[in-house]
Amino acid sequence: MSYKGDNLMSVKRTNRSAALRALHEKGAMSRKRLAESMNLTPAAITKIVAEMIHDGLLSEGEMLSSGGAGRREILIGINAKKACGLGVLINLRQAILSATWLDGSVIFAEEIPLEANAASEETAKLLSRRLLELIEENEIPREQVIGLGIAVRGITSADGRTVRNSFGALAETDYPLCALFEELTGFHCVMENNVRSLLAAQMFLSRDENEGSQFFLRCGHGIGAALSIDGKIWHGVTAQCAEIGHIPVIRRGGKPCHCGKSGCLETIASPGAIREEAISGLSAEGTPLLWRAFQDRDPKEMRVFDVLTAASNGDAGASAIVDQAIQALGMAIKALIYLVDPGKIILYGSLFEDPYYLSRLSSELQEGVDLRHDVAIEKSQYNLQLEDKAACLLAVQDFMENGGIQE
Ligand SMILES: [Zn+2]
C-alpha cells in the first residue's frame, strides 16, 4: 500500500500527461472540450495549454464554430513533429533500429542481422553506433530526441532495467542492458519485453479503443503473448504474465524448448514446431501433397506456409499436424478466456495472414466456449506493421506519461 502524496510538480506532470493522452486519443479539440474531458476548470486548462504551447508540444490549429452566438473556438492539437522517440527492437538473429514522431509515424527503420546468442556488450555497441549514425543521416538534432525504447525478446525485469533471459537472442542472462544503452547513447532509456511492446504500440495507435481487457497473441517463430487489463498492460510479479508459449503441455518426453524446459506449448504449437513436425514426418503415404512438393527440393527449405497449403488442399498428414498445433494453442487460449474473460483477442503475425490457419484457429476457439464469453477474436489491424514502431513508442509513451517534461 502506498501513502505517497502529490506535490505541485507531480500534479503538473499528471495534468500535462492527461492533456497529452486526451489529445492523442481524441484528436485536436478546443480548450473548452479539453477542460470538460479532463474535469478541470477552463482557467486551469488555459494555463496548462499555454505552457505546453510555449514548450512547442501543442499548437493552435483551425477555428471551430461553437454554434452559440457566432463564437468560434480554436482547436488545440499535439505538435507531433516537435520530438521523436528512438527504438531498438531485439529479436532472435535480428534487430531493428528506428525512430518515430510523437504520433508513431516512422522517420527511419533499419534491420540489422545478428548472430544467435550474440554477446550483449558488443551488440549494444554495434547497435548504438549505427543508431547515432542514423540520427545524423536523418538530420535529427539530439535535443529533439526524447529517449530510447528498447524492446527485447524473452524475460525483462519488472523494473525494465535488466534482460533476465532473451532465449537465445543475447548470450548473457541477468544483463543490465538498459544502463548500457544509456551510457552508450546518452539518451534516457526504457526497456520492455518485445511482445508487450507490440501490444503497447497496438493500443497507442488504436487510440481510444482500449477500455476493456485484451489478449495479444503473436506467432512469429515461437508463440508470445501479452495481456492488458482495463487499458493497462499487466506484467505479473516476475514480469512473465501471459507467457503462454511456455505452459508445460507434455509432462514427459516432450521436445526441448529454448527456454530451457521441455514439452512447452511452443514445442508443439508454434509455426517452427509445425514445420519441424512436417519435415520429420514427410513421406509419400503420410503427407502425399507435401511429399510431391518436396520431391526435388531439400525438405529443410520447407516453410510453415508449405504445410498450411498442403493441409488446405486436403493432405491428411499435413492437416493432422496443423490441427494438433491448433488444438494445443486453442486449449491454452480457452483457459485464458475462462480465467481473464477478455473483451478481445488480437492475433498478430504472418501466420494469421493465412486464411486456412486463421479459420481453423477461429473455429477451434469457438468450440467449447459458451456465449456468456462474448470475446471478439480478430487479426490486428496493424498486423506486421508494428515492429518498426513498437520500441520507439515505448519512449514516446514514457515521455507522455511524464507530461512531456524531459529530465
Ligand atoms: Zn519453453
| Strands across the sheet containing 344-348 | 232-233, 223-229, 214-219, 344-348, 376-379
Does residue 161 lie within any of the structural domains? yes
CATH number at residue 291: 3.30.420.40
Q: What is the pLDDT of residue 143?
A: 94
Q: Are 193 and 135 in the same domain?
A: yes
DSSP 137-194: HTT--GGGEEEEEEEESSEE-TTSS-EEE-TTSBS-SSB-HHHHHHHHH-S-EEEEEH
Cell of 6: 502529490
**Based on the number of CB atoms within 10 Å of its own CB, is 296 exposed (0-12), middle (13-18) or buried (19 or more)?**
exposed
Say how far apart CA 40 and CA 52 lie, in whole Å. 16
User: Are 252 and 339 within one domain?
Assistant: yes
Last residue of a domain, one of 53, 78, 103: 78
Helices (DSSP H) in 30-84: which residue ranges?
31-38, 42-54
305 domain-assigned: yes
Pairing of strands 106-113, 94-101: antiparallel
**Residue 34, domain CATH:** 1.10.10.10
Amino acid at 238: T
Instruction: Tell me the CA–centroid distance for residue 223 and ligand 1, in Å.
Output: 10
The residue out of 78, 97, 118 marking a domain boundary is: 78
Distance 9 CA to ligand 1 centre (A): 45
Distances (CA, A) of 406 to 140, 182, 401: 17, 15, 11
**Of the candidates 216, 27, 205, 13, which has an alpha carbon nearest to the alpha carbon of residue 100?**
205
Range of the domain at 219: 214-379
Which ranges of 192-315 would DSSP assign to H, the alpha helix? 194-205, 266-269, 271-280, 288-293, 304-312
Q: What is the pLDDT of residue 317?
A: 97
Answer yes or no: is 50 within a domain: yes
The gap between the terminal CA atoms of the chain, to the nearest Å, is 27
pLDDT score of 62: 76
* CA pair distance 47, 204, nearest whole angstrom: 26
- For residue 298, the CA-to-ligand 1 centroid distance in Å is 28
Distance 405 CA to ligand 1 centre (A): 40
Are 280 and 341 within one domain?
yes
Give the 3-state secondary structure of residue 3: coil
Question: Nearest to residue 110, comparing CAs of 98, 128, 122?
Answer: 98
Are 232 and 267 contained in the same domain? yes
Distance 248 CA to ligand 1 centre (A): 7
Q: Does 232 share its domain with 362?
A: yes
Residue found under cell 481473464: 340
Q: How far is the CA of 260 from the centre of ligand 1 (A)?
A: 6
Tell me which residues have their CB within 5 A of the ion that is ligand 1.
246, 257, 259, 261, 264
Query: Do residues 161 and 281 share a domain?
Result: no
Q: Ligand 1: distance of its center to the CA of 389 in Å? A: 27
CA distance 339 to 341: 6
Domain co-membership, 58 together with 137: no
Q: Are residues 53 and 135 in the same domain?
A: no
- pLDDT tens for the chain, 407 residues: list them: 566 667 778 888 999 999 999 999 999 999 999 999 999 999 999 999 999 999 999 999 877 666 555 567 899 999 999 999 999 999 999 999 999 999 999 999 999 999 999 999 999 999 999 999 999 999 999 999 999 999 999 999 989 999 999 999 999 999 999 999 999 999 999 999 999 999 999 999 998 676 789 999 999 878 999 999 988 999 998 888 988 999 999 888 899 998 889 999 999 999 999 999 999 999 999 999 999 999 999 999 999 999 999 999 999 999 999 999 999 999 999 999 889 889 999 999 999 999 999 999 988 988 887 767 778 889 999 999 999 999 999 999 999 999 998 76
pLDDT score, position 68: 58
Cα of 345 from ligand 1 centre, angstroms: 22
Residue with cell 487499458: 231
C-beta of residue 190 within 8 angstroms of C-beta of residue 137:
no
User: In what helix (H) or strand (E) does residue 232 lie, and over which residues does it extend?
Assistant: strand 232-233
Q: How far is the CA of 255 from the centre of ligand 1 (A)?
A: 10
Q: 169 CA to middle of ligand 1, Å?
A: 15
Among candidate residues 78, 113, 132, the one where a domain is terminated: 78
Looking at the structure, do residues 96 and 193 belong to the same domain, yes or no? yes
Q: 339: buried, middle or exposed (CB in 10 Å: 19+, 13-18, 0-12)?
A: exposed
In a domain, 406, yes or no: no
Q: How much is the pLDDT for 238? A: 87
- In this structure, is residue 280 part of a structural domain? yes
Backbone angles phi, psi at 347, to 5 degrees: -100, 135
**Domain for residue 138, yes or no?**
yes
The rounded distance, in Å, linking the Cα atoms of 24 and 208 is 9
269: CA distance to ligand 1 center in Å?
A: 11
Distance (Å) from CA 288 to ligand 1 centroid: 31
Number of domains in the chain: 3
Q: Which of 38, 29, 34, 42 is nearest to 11 (CA)?
A: 38
Give the other-Cβ count within 10 Å of 223's Cβ: 29
Shared domain check, 368 and 247: yes
65: in domain: yes
- Between the CA of 165 and the centroid of ligand 1 the distance, in Å, is 12
How far does residue 95's CA lie from ligand 1's centre (Å)? 22
In a domain, 93, yes or no: yes
Distances (CA, A) of 195 to 192, 228, 270, 404: 9, 12, 15, 25
Å from CA of 46 to ligand 1 middle: 53
**Centre of ligand 1 from the C-alpha of residue 261, in Å:** 5
Question: Within this chain, do residues 263 and 186 fall inside the same structural domain, yes or no?
Answer: no
Locate 244 and state its grid cell: 503462454
283 lies in the same domain as 397: no
Element (H, E) at 259: none
